[in-house]
Structure 1
């Protein structure tokens, strides 16, 4: 049997309760019918995929979302710590201010966690990066920001402009097409 949303909800109900609720109650929470909940709960409890998911969700790390969030925040700070301090105090007359993981130059904000912003800051000479850091940031860019599709950027803009012209009430009238006369 393939894993579906109801099976996952059943496994989550069992895992969150720590096994304190019955299979029937967990099946009802998962959205199964009350009439067949007892049999369904018993069947799902024997399903190997559900058993594996319950074990996975019962681990201490899975139950503690706040702990996972703290770990992610610490990892983000570690990443930001690898970026050296700012090399300049001003850029073309604009004051550079660093607040945590943000760098503000004039009215523009740059994040030290965003690969595009970090490469931009390196290009402006505000932050110095090693060649390996630059290469890894360039590798990550297509995954964070999608690649340009089959049509180029200019063709996409032209197509969008033509679409707007067709739906605009003040669009110029098209010349009449002469079809076959019958």
Structure 2
């Protein structure tokens, strides 16, 4: 029996791709690849999800790469272009679950300020009962502690909780916390996975 459904956000409910603005900012594909692998790396960006301010993040990189200052600051400046649209078919599932009276919350690796920006742009992100934002609590998935925090904050029974995330390692973290989990690849698979756990989405 599942009583609680927890959604990730990026690449489950909304699209995210940092190459979208940077294809214009750094048109050369090889140079752009080098920039993301050596300057504005995934690991660097993850620290903003962990709670580091953008001001501090930019300062650290500008000190190391002063000739790249404009490109570095473009990451936050054009963040809105990295999240151009929602996945409508996923949003339909989220909203239908809420309409059916299911307990729905969200757990996301997201910087605090960009999450609030996303909530304004995508109002459906305000429909679930609540959300745990990694940047607010300085914990990130797949650290098992963020799942414990979320369960305690929202009164979830771990054994009756299912987590939906696009990253297998984050699902594994949820399972270590005693939750069930399904890896998101597309909306139809999500419907099938939920049905396998007794949750029919009309």
TM (normalized to structure 1)? 0.28
Larger radius of gyration: 1
TM (normalized to structure 2)? 0.26
